[in-house]
Structure 1
Amino acid sequence: MHGVYSTRTAAFEISGESGKVLSPEVDVYLKGNCYLPQPEQQQVLGRIVAGGASHDAIRDLPGQFILVIHDKRNRKVAIVRDHLGQQPLYHTLEDDRLLFASSVRELRTLARRPWSFDRRGVYDYFAVKYTVPPATLFEGVSEQVPGTIVEFSDGKLQSAHSFFNRTPCTPLTDQGANQKWVAQFSAEFGKSLQTVCADADSHRFAVLSSGGMDSSMLVGAYRKLTQRRFPTIYVGCDGYKNDKAKEAEFVSRLFDTDHRNVYVSAAQFAEQLERTVEITDFPLDSPSTVLRSHLYARLGGEVDVLLSGEGADSLYTGYYIFDLVYRFYSKATARELLAVLVRLLPLSMLPGDRGRKARLVRQAMISPPDEYLLQNDILISNNAERLSGMLEAFDPGDYLPEFKRDLSGHSKADILNRILGIYRFAYLSAQVGSLAKLDDAYGLEHRHPFIHCPMIDAFNEISWDRKVGGFTRKRLVAEMAREYLPPAFFRMPKEGFGVPIAEWFRDPASLGQFVDLLNSAACRERGIFRKAYIDQLLSDYQNDRLEEPMYEQVLWPMVNFELWAKRALAIGVGVIGTVQNVLATSWNFLTLSTSVSAGML
């Protein structure tokens, strides 16, 4: 979807919508899928026509969507991004024109003047491998924050409102209503799965099966709830030692599904990387996006809808930081003494990955939780110290300002809620936004049964002492999975769609062919990376001195950025904006969205 609204002439143009309701005074346009029968969808859109940008009507709209509300009477336009950002949405103001689109590429085709880099967005990308809304990689271009309504008139952004609570308000301990809400949480999962599969008779469905718990739950639950089954598909890497095809095949045998494995070679991965960067119009975050892109190209129209387990980790405490912060901060009674004792442990004697993980746990025991998240969490690819050496003109004060804002003034009672809010509204939207772009390119649709607002609402009501414990990631999801999967399943190792990044970077026929991009004149003169850092990185790479994590944390995003810049930028080499020059709309939007998320809803 993309469109233009001129506040001077009131001219309005839009294309790419999948549904609309028109009236003499207000028109509503939809892109995406609300998982509602057509008559019911039209009724909901009709309520929005009657009420304008009403919070209640929009919050009740399920699914993944963009809404554009054109108020002809009052000469204004409101644009809406779904609750958790499953559909990407970008906008910019150019003179008297509002430009909006579901991809940056579409937005650029509407622009009349060239764009330049936004240094703040670049900092975000190399910190976490995505930009944190509203920042993007371009000056003056905003990515709309998930779950918000933004209104424009008179040539400027007038208001930004949240219709979905950014940060839950769950108590640490409250046994009273837990049983009720745990049951509701489980019931809502079943409802969500049946809702997103309601059109299974008219569409060709499949489950993207990693062999992990989340996708396997989809296979087992659908079979139990409907007595039907979908085909399952696994995508993996040739020769990868941690390949999980056996786990996916085990699930297929359990539920008697038609199953296939698709493998990607090192050379195919490199070829598909360039194509995927072109499709997403963004340097990639996860290597698994390339695997998916290769798979969808192979499917060639055989599948209409792919079910996937996205959202289970980000929405329902699927990362160890929640257990670490709960145990060693929120509920710790002698934290200072514990910190002294832990510092005495000789963890340097532990080898390899075991030692690295032990040091991270120790850091969680002795560091404030906000500092731990910003320096060591899985969210973080590169911390401020590393970026200071990597990026030109980087100021640690510019490091992830939205995360710092969300964590500022935290207490033991609310820190877990704040961290969960970051995972939900930044990390998750980056994951599923990339998949939506692949959908458009390959003519299929991802559906994510775990991303379901009533399920999230029920989870929010459950106290933290019930959500976490025993270092069981996504504890409530794991308990629910036992309704659908046998005990033998839980004894198998889990990983997801892994990629041997380091090995393939060492292969000149695979990712190794892209490393010389970092030595090009364009890269060196663009003004992003410190030249001394490039020299040292290339020397370490050529002499096989790079530590294993550096391939994915540093080399992967740098190569992706250069692949993207080489293809996507229609601006002069070396042109780069400054944080201070970002168009006012981004900062106004940031301020407004902050105020409503902290209080209203």
Structure 2
Amino acid sequence: MCGIAGLVVAPGQPAPDPALGHRMNAVIHHRGPDEGGLHHDDRALLGMRRLSIIDVDGGHQPMHAADGQVCIVFNGEIYNYRELRAGLEHDGHSFESQSDTEVIVQGYLRDGVAIFDRLDGMFAVAIWDRRTQELVLARDRFGEKPLYYTHDERRLLFGSELKTLLQSPDCPRDLDDDALRAYLAYGYVPCPHSVFAGVRKLPPAHYLRYRDGRASLHCYWRPSLGPKTTLGEDEAAEQLEELLDRAVASRLVSDVPFGAFLSGGLDSSTVVALMARHMDRPVKTFTIGFKEEAYSELDDARQVARHLGTDHHELVVEPDAVDLLHKLVWHFDEPFADSSAVPTFLVSELARQHVKMVLTGDGGDEMFGGYDRYLRLLKLERLGGLRAPGAALLKFAGGIAPNPHGERLSRVGERLRLPFDERYLSGVAVMRADTAHELRPQAGGARHFHLPALDQPDSHLGAGNEPLDRAVAIDLQSYLPDDILVKLDRMAMAASLEGRSPFLQPDLAQFALSLPTHYRVRGGRGKHLLRAVAEKWLPPRAIRKPKQGFAIPLADWFRGPLRTLAADTFASQAFRERGLMRPQAAQSLLHDHLERNIDRGEALWQSLCLELWARRFLDDPATAVDGGAACS
């Protein structure tokens, strides 16, 4: 796991300044504290910070081909690198290290950009090819590893984190209004947008070529949600067990100590159970909890840990909420309001005291229909044949029913009138449209719930007509890469920890997506087939445990440690003059919350994260250069 950054200039432009490369490297030191490197020539800067996991003594980057004409920097891990290496050696390629980085270099020399589709792993790659005077950027299938870029006819800047690009004084800094609108709806900025209009995120499963001042974007892989498997349930369960086992085993390749996050839920517990099958020593597992019992999964994790005989580590935390929030703002680079980032960061810090890499259960909900919102959507879609009369009836009922039931019925009626993507996304949004409009008038409008990413011509994922597939297709394009995987990458990397997600192994993921709805959702619960397979490894409580997710006591925090910070922020002159949100609306949210009229914790968290981000990255650009040292 590493961080990469760089610059390539078009022909005729001044040579890149190595000092810029050193600044870009320094600002992501937390992503790779073990070592750093920089390639510099008359057209290119390629830098990296390394967290050494495989071939600790070798595998140094930037890495060059034998003739020095091809240079690579690479962030991630390739799990099938040994198989790929054997094929390359058979074809006459020789190797000087044991690293997966060199496999990508040799694969590129043999196959060109076709090598990316052969990689099973998580990666963000930059290859400078002096033979063709071309820069190639690539990102893994599901977007586990981030990659930002900005370009024009003079140069292209790229980096693992947005703050690397901000080291260049000519990096665009005009805000993207679509990105801010989406942020208020969903709590994150969706790909390919970034918070700055002139900076983009490379989409998952894409590569980019930059040559002679021009860039072209290409998709090398698409997940498919059809056709559906014809296997019987017992046969499907047998195949699923084999694929799960293989995915976990492939992610145990490491030259450093490793472990796993364990919440006691189905996904992380399944991963730990399979790890235990392949290890000759107890799996190191890590769990954190809060003193508020409703937000703690310690008991569930303990039971699974005892059942599997793990070397279990847990911690009840009482974090400094203000200090922690400032750290999160720094590490995310963009406005990001998924509050489960807090426990993710804390458990990453705990794990890093013992190991350098962990396996996680991320991706299981998308692949196996585990989110509660999928269940709510399926209930809503059963009214599909009665959409127009159903919407009218619910609107009428909402007008006569007492609040809050009346409001809820009216909102369901409104959703029934929307096209499918907006109907689904309106149930996913973390901030209601009317609240977003009160805070920021530009956030309203008919397309409020539409993700900008869905406007891309290559946005379809081959989904069939089943509502669950259509919802999963949207999540694979947006929620998974732009929220779940961003949270894991930034929070783990903030602690200099690598996180691996077995559920995103391509063969396993594709098989899971081929399962018909009734293999994924049955009896009002998701993950039906996964539960059936995991029963042989896990205690009954882990199988039956309802979806909980990482949560924090936001409501209490805004009546306690975050109260003063929020009040002072929303009353400040800087907040008023910036104009990103209406001060009166933000103050009203806080007042309602403090008076216990309604829980406004999530909306307050979003609002505060946005303003603190603006102070850090807009008001004082110098802190975007060197401010991370205190927070890493």
Normalising by the smaller structure, the TM-score range is 0.7 to 0.9
Amino acid at match of 1:22: A
Matched with 1:586 is: none
Q: Note if 1:13 corresponds to 2:73.
A: no
Matched with 1:170 is: 226
> In 1, are the aligned partners of 2:370 and 2:526 still within 8 Å (CA)?
yes
Tell me the SS of whatever aligns to 2:551: coil
Q: 1:568: how far off?
A: 2.0
CA offsets 1:458-509 (integer angstroms, 9 cap, x no match): 12322234332322122232222213213243344552322110011100x3
Matched with 1:28 is: 72
Amino acid at match of 1:16: M
Matched with 2:283 is: 230
Name the CA distance, whole Å, in 2 between partners of 1:255 and 1:409.
38
Matched with 2:163 is: 105
Matched with 1:564 is: 613
Aligned 1:194-213 pairs, distance under 5 A = 194-199=249-254, 202-213=255-266
Structure 1 pair 132/114, CA: closer, same or farther in 2 (3 Å)?
Answer: closer
Matched with 1:3 is: 6
Aligned 1:244-323 pairs, distance under 5 A = 244-265=297-318, 268-298=320-350, 301-323=353-375
Structure 1 pair 415/228, CA: closer, same or farther in 2 (3 Å)?
Answer: same
Amino acid at match of 2:162: V
CA offsets 1:324-355 (integer angstroms, 9 cap, x no match): 44465379666667667777878997998x99
Match for 1:61 among 88, 111, 119? 119
Matched with 2:112 is: 52
Matched with 1:457 is: 510
Amino acid at match of 1:162: C
Structure 1 pair 367/229, CA: closer, same or farther in 2 (3 Å)?
Answer: farther
> In 2, are the aligned partners of 1:116 and 1:138 still within 8 Å (CA)?
yes
Amino acid at match of 1:565: A
Tell me which moved more, 208-217 or 392-401: 392-401
> In 1, are the aligned partners of 2:571 and 2:583 still within 8 Å (CA)?
no
Identity of counterpart residues, as a percentage? 24
Matched with 2:424 is: 373
Q: 1:268: how far off?
A: 2.0
Matched with 1:386 is: 435
Name the CA distance, whole Å, in 1 between partners of 2:70 and 2:461.
42
TM-score w.r.t. length of structure 1: 0.83
Matched with 1:444 is: 497
Q: 1:278: how far off?
A: 1.6
Q: Note if 1:79 corresponds to 2:79.
A: no
Amino acid at match of 2:48: G
Matched with 2:128 is: 70
Name the CA distance, whole Å, in 1 between partners of 2:200 and 2:7.
15
Name the CA distance, whole Å, in 2 between partners of 1:494 and 1:450.
17
> In 1, are the aligned partners of 2:570 and 2:587 still within 8 Å (CA)?
no
| Structure with the larger RCO, 1 or 2 (CA within 8 Å, 6+ apart) | 1
Name the CA distance, whole Å, in 2 between partners of 1:370 and 1:79.
30
CA RMSD of aligned residues (A): 3.4
Name the CA distance, whole Å, in 2 between partners of 1:175 and 1:360.
38
Name the CA distance, whole Å, in 1 between partners of 2:99 and 2:406.
58
What is the number of residues matched between the two proteins? Answer: 557
Name the CA distance, whole Å, in 2 between partners of 1:409 and 1:254.
39
> In 2, are the aligned partners of 1:307 and 1:447 still within 8 Å (CA)?
yes
Amino acid at match of 1:186: E
> In 1, are the aligned partners of 2:391 and 2:412 still within 8 Å (CA)?
no
> In 2, are the aligned partners of 1:116 and 1:571 still within 8 Å (CA)?
no
CA offsets 1:43-77 (integer angstroms, 9 cap, x no match): 443122233222xx212212211111223232221
> In 1, are the aligned partners of 2:569 and 2:575 still within 8 Å (CA)?
yes
Match for 1:402 among 452, 459, 462? 452
Q: Note if 1:421 corresponds to 2:473.
A: yes
Tell me which moved more, 355-364 or 270-279: 355-364
CA offsets 1:118-155 (integer angstroms, 9 cap, x no match): 21211111111111111111120111111111111222
Q: 1:183: how far off?
A: 3.5
Structure 1 pair 450/358, CA: closer, same or farther in 2 (3 Å)?
Answer: farther
Q: Note if 1:533 corresponds to 2:565.
A: no
Amino acid at match of 1:192: A
Match for 1:500 among 546, 553, 573? 553
Aligned 1:210-221 pairs, distance under 5 A = 210-221=263-274
Tell me which moved more, 95-104 or 17-26: 17-26
Name the CA distance, whole Å, in 1 between partners of 2:485 and 2:545.
27
> In 2, are the aligned partners of 1:311 and 1:428 still within 8 Å (CA)?
yes
Amino acid at match of 2:338: S
Name the CA distance, whole Å, in 2 between partners of 1:537 and 1:340.
31
Matched with 1:193 is: 248
Q: 1:562: how far off?
A: 1.5
Tell me the SS of whatever aligns to 1:109: coil
> In 2, are the aligned partners of 1:272 and 1:293 still within 8 Å (CA)?
no
Amino acid at match of 2:7: V
Tell me which moved more, 269-278 or 487-496: 487-496
CA offsets 1:28-54 (integer angstroms, 9 cap, x no match): 332211133536663443122233222
Name the CA distance, whole Å, in 2 between partners of 1:492 and 1:117.
42
Amino acid at match of 1:233: F
Name the CA distance, whole Å, in 1 between partners of 2:145 and 2:276.
28
Name the CA distance, whole Å, in 2 between partners of 1:276 and 1:432.
15
Q: 1:372: how far off?
A: 2.4
> In 1, are the aligned partners of 2:225 and 2:513 still within 8 Å (CA)?
yes
Amino acid at match of 2:248: L
CA offsets 1:225-281 (integer angstroms, 9 cap, x no match): 44642122211112343422111111111122222321221x523322212222222
Name the CA distance, whole Å, in 1 between partners of 2:614 and 2:237.
47
CA offsets 1:508-534 (integer angstroms, 9 cap, x no match): x34543332122111111121124423
Tell me the SS of whatever aligns to 1:286: coil
> In 1, are the aligned partners of 2:206 and 2:220 still within 8 Å (CA)?
yes
Matched with 2:601 is: 551
Name the CA distance, whole Å, in 1 between partners of 2:437 and 2:396.
30
Aligned 1:317-332 pairs, distance under 5 A = 317-326=369-378, 329=381
Name the CA distance, whole Å, in 1 between partners of 2:276 and 2:160.
35
Structure 1 pair 17/63, CA: closer, same or farther in 2 (3 Å)?
Answer: farther
Question: Which stretches in structure 1 are left out of the alignment for 5+ residues?
Answer: 573-601
Structure 1 pair 60/360, CA: closer, same or farther in 2 (3 Å)?
Answer: farther
Structure 1 pair 443/113, CA: closer, same or farther in 2 (3 Å)?
Answer: closer
Matched with 1:585 is: none
Name the CA distance, whole Å, in 2 between partners of 1:403 and 1:115.
20
